A and B are shown apart, each in its own frame.
Chain A
Amino acid sequence: MASFNASIRESGTASIIDISGDLDAHTSIQLEQVIQSLIDKGRTNIIVNFSKLNYISSAGLGVFMSFIDEVRSKGGDIKFASMPDKIFQIFDLLGFPLLYEIYDDEKKAIDKFQTTAS
């Protein structure tokens, strides 16, 4: 059973959300709660690490869309890292690379936040 999990770790000014399992219409609320908790603490440099994610549905995509304006208005961003090909193809199909930065590995995303801050 591929249940969903989202855990947070910090790296400098960035908060990294490691997501795993299946992000679907049933589990997307958990991701909403995690992102909201970061925003509430003023942690708006957010990187989502997809390396252990098995599945994402349109509901999961909708979570990111629902927060991106608020996060960017507070000077932060949501960046994506380590996306499996099967998931990247969906982001690509919908044109999401036009709106979000997607990195092969999270270090590049972390470095980008550092560069933006300095």
Chain B
Amino acid sequence: MAEEFKAELTIQSSIDQLEKVRDFVSEAAQAFGFEECEGYKIVMAVDEACSNIIRHGYNKKPDQKLHIVIQTDGNRFTVIVNDSGKSYDICNHPLPDMETYLAAKRSGGLGIKLIRSLVDEIQYEHSNGENKLVLTKRLPSR
């Protein structure tokens, strides 16, 4: 049975810090009970989200911060990413049609599609200059 827990991590807004985020989420996801393929999905979703915040939200300024919180509730594994960069609601982002994308050999622009495909629930809030992205993945029932 998955144990409930809460953990937090703060990183600088530099892409060389993404590995710390992935290790943080991966360890927690494994402890929660996700098998390798399912755990990879939430790790990737968080990695893509943080990468977008660093590159677009903060325009690659490396002196800003991202605060990541993991909390669990029953079979729900939730990762909250907090930042104070430019606001952007990924829930309203137009997704690429993959047939067209592949035919055109496009490069880039798949991060949001991946985030939305890899987790079960997404919520976004922007308030008082702060962004809060909430990604939830449920443990598959056995």
Distance between A37 CB and nearest chain B CB, rounded to angstroms: 19
Does B16 touch A at the CB level, under 8 Å?
yes
Interface CB pairs A-B, < 8 A, 13 = A1-B19, A24-B15, A25-B15, A55-B40, A55-B43, A55-B47, A57-B18, A57-B44, A57-B48, A62-B108, A93-B114, A94-B98, A96-B102
3 nearest A-B residue pairs (beta carbon): A65-B107, A86-B40, A58-B110
| B111 cross-chain contacts in A, Cβ below 8 A | 57-58
Given contacts A25-B51, A66-B107, contact A95 B99 (CB under 8 A): yes
| B40 cross-chain contacts in A, Cβ below 8 A | 55, 86-87, 89-90
Does B22 touch A at the CB level, under 8 Å?
yes
A1 to B44, CA, bound (A): 17
Given contacts A86-B37, A90-B114, contact A62 B18 (CB under 8 A): no
Distance between B42 CB and nearest chain A CB, rounded to angstroms: 12
| B36 cross-chain contacts in A, Cβ below 8 A | 85-86
Does B93 touch A at the CB level, under 8 Å?
no
Does B55 touch A at the CB level, under 8 Å?
yes
Contact digits for A49-61, partner B, Cβ 8 Å, 1 yes 0 no: 0000001011101
| A99 cross-chain contacts in B, Cβ below 8 A | 102, 105
Q: Describe A's contact surface by its main secondary structure.
A: helix
Kindly report which residue of chain B lies nearest to residue A28, judged by CB atoms.
B15
| A1 cross-chain contacts in B, Cβ below 8 A | 19
A85 touches B37 (CB 8 A): yes
Q: Describe B's contact surface by its main secondary structure.
A: helix
Does B117 touch A at the CB level, under 8 Å?
yes
Does B106 touch A at the CB level, under 8 Å?
yes
Interface size of B by CB at 8 A reads 29
Kindly report which residue of chain A lies nearest to residue B113, judged by CB atoms.
A94
A80 to B93, CA, bound (A): 31
Distance between A70 CB and nearest chain B CB, rounded to angstroms: 10
Distance between B26 CB and nearest chain A CB, rounded to angstroms: 9
| B102 cross-chain contacts in A, Cβ below 8 A | 95-96, 98-99
| A77 cross-chain contacts in B, Cβ below 8 A | none
Kindly report which residue of chain B lies nearest to residue A3, judged by CB atoms.
B19
A57 touches B51 (CB 8 A): yes
Does A106 touch B at the CB level, under 8 Å?
no
A19 to B137, CA, bound (A): 29
Given contacts A86-B40, A90-B114, contact A25 B108 (CB under 8 A): no
